[in-house]
Amino acid sequence: MFYKVLIANRGEIALRIIRACKELGIRTVVVHSTVDSNALHVRLADEKVCIGPPEPNRSYLNISSILSAAEITDADAIHPGYGFMAENPDFAEACEKCGIRFIGPEAEIIRLMGDKLKARNIAKSLGVPVLPGSEKGISDEKNALSFANEIGFPVIIKASGGGGGRGMKIVHSPSSFSNSFHAAKAETAAAFNNDEVYIEKYCESPRHVEVQIMADRHGNTIHLGERECSIQRRHQKLLEESPCPGLDDKTRKELTSVAVKLVKSINYTNVGTVEFLLDKDGNFFFIEMNTRIQVEHPVTEMVSGIDMIKKQLKLANGERLKYKQKDIKFSGHSIECRITAEDPKRFVPSPGHIKNLHIPGGLGVRVDSALHNSCTVSSYYDPLIAKVITHGRDREEALSRMSRALEEFIIEGIFTTIPLYKNILNDHDFLSGRIDVEYLSRFL
């Protein structure tokens, strides 16, 4: 097993990785910006290295600074968490060249699946359903409009080499295509330094369902079930649960089978997520693969009983999976609410100083957070400050525990989205499982 792991991230995911490492007897190093000097994950790690000022491109996105920190602390592996460097193939490649294990798939696999068009074409070649779309990136507006007319509106414009909802535009008619096309290219260029986009038929009011997979370096691949991720705002997930409410066993078996088939075809290793859209008729379509740990991984941990961060570490160290698919048993239902430092009505960021904090607890309640009394929520980073995860024998009990946990959660000094989740948990459509990716816009 690794002797020392450097964590190239911050906040709750950094703390989550520290906990897994401590339980495995692995020493930890965290890199941090100047504004995070007093952060909880920095205080709890065995070693810390300040790598720059608050701006991400001068600290958490600075490859040379991170690798220098790993070398001076003799770290033999780096865990990227999610976001920042987690899906950067150049970073993964640089780690390997320095003799440091990148905890995730190989650089060429990250590069392959990070190209949404290539990933889509691989899925298509395997017979995995995909929505009608362009076979290659399109840079010219005239050609783009011609293709959109060919497959029929509405269409969605997506970044060829990125994700996370950035550069994504839904277009309902030719008259609005030009503005959306150029806006998508501009956002894509700013986010990924590449303005190439592709066009896909837009699936109206779909559900967003993803399959968690896990693979070792010896050819063994399994899945850990699916997650419902349809409640989103601007293509960013807010609430996830497992298993998916209302998903029939036949569709579940087909989804998980094609997910495993896809990742085996590219010799994938470590953990990853294959994402699908389900239309109103129950048909599913591959959309992308994320080559990292997901924000919402705790709901899978709660229903499967498997610590996914520990598994990441063991798989990266070359260990074999110790169980077959038939050995994976799922228990109960789990739900996660992502708590962000935002105004729950206007969704504007709400950084500031925490004046009073009470974290909920009790049977079936888990909170992943790096908050502590008197800490400061910075304006420099993603506003996610906590994840509340509940587990119950069934969805009703998991929902009941989530409602109770949110009532107990006290955060004073900033605005948070806790009131939004309280309202959603009282909504009839949500309680009935009638949700899709447009649920939140209707609800609001």
Active-site positions read 292
Is 324 buried (19+), middle (13-18) or exposed (0-12) by CB count in 10 A? Answer: exposed
How big is the chain, counted in residues?
444
Can you say whether residue 165 is alpha, beta or left, with left for phi > 0 and alpha for psi between -120 and 50 degrees?
left
Q: Which of 142, 144, 146, 170 is nearest to 157 (CA)?
A: 170
Contact (CB, 8 A) for 385 and 371:
yes
50 φ, ψ (degrees, to nearest 5): -80, 125
What is the C-alpha separation between 340 and 223, in angstroms, rounded? 29
What is the C-alpha separation between 311 and 314, in angstroms, rounded? 5
What is the C-alpha separation between 304 and 443, in angstroms, rounded? 31
What is the C-alpha separation between 231 and 431, in angstroms, rounded? 13
What is the C-alpha separation between 424 and 335, in angstroms, rounded? 13
Contact (CB, 8 A) for 103 and 313:
yes
Contact (CB, 8 A) for 436 and 246:
no
363 φ, ψ (degrees, to nearest 5): -55, 130
